[in-house]
Amino acid sequence: MKDWPLYEVFIRSKAGLHHRHVGSLHAADDTMAIEHARDVYCRRNEGVSIWVVKSDDIVANDPAESDALFNPAENKVYRHPTFYDLPDNVKHM
């Protein structure tokens, strides 16, 4: 039998936190993907909210091109607070 579509599963472990990728699973449709995600990834109260999305629908950058994508941020030290010299007697900053 042909495999069912692959879904990526994201779980919010408690209110106030981001959903986080926890793994993937196969399901015949969206409803079954949620049910399987509950059984596979939430057997011990690991979540209060589940997102599932078909893996094919995720758009990702090409890792072979990741240098060109991320390098520009490397030499911009002035974007960090520690770049700026202040005397020790300046408090609360």
Partner 1 sequence: MDNLKEKAFQDKIDQDTRIEPKDWMPENYRKALIRQISQHAHSEIVGMLPEGNWVTRAPNLRRKVALLAKVQDEAGHGLYLYAAAETLGVSRDDLIDQLHTGKAKYSSIFNYPTISWADMGTIGWLVDGAAIMNQVPLCRCSYGPYARAMVRVCKEESFHQRQGYEILLTLSRGTEAQKQMLQDSVNRWWWPSLMMFGPSDSDSPHSAQSMAWKIKRFSNDELRQRFVDACVDQARILGVTLPDPDLKWNEERGHYDFGEIDWDEFWQVVKGHGPCNKDRIETRVKAYEDGAWVREAATAYAEKQAKRKEKVA
List Cα–Cα distances, 10 to 7, 22, 23, 47, 68, in angstroms.
Answer: 10, 6, 8, 9, 29
Instruction: Return the range that interacts with partner 1 (CB under 8 A); candidates 11-19, 25-33, 75-83, 84-92.
Output: 25-33
Stretch that binds partner 1, among 12-20, 26-34, 74-82, 83-91 (CB under 8 A): 26-34
Only one residue has tokens 């030499």, namely: 75
Residue 54 dihedral angles phi and psi, to the nearest 5°: -60, 130
Contact call for residue 35 and partner 1 (CB under 8 A): no
Binding site for partner 1 (CB under 8 A): 1-4, 6, 22-26, 28-29, 32, 39-40, 43-44, 60, 62-64
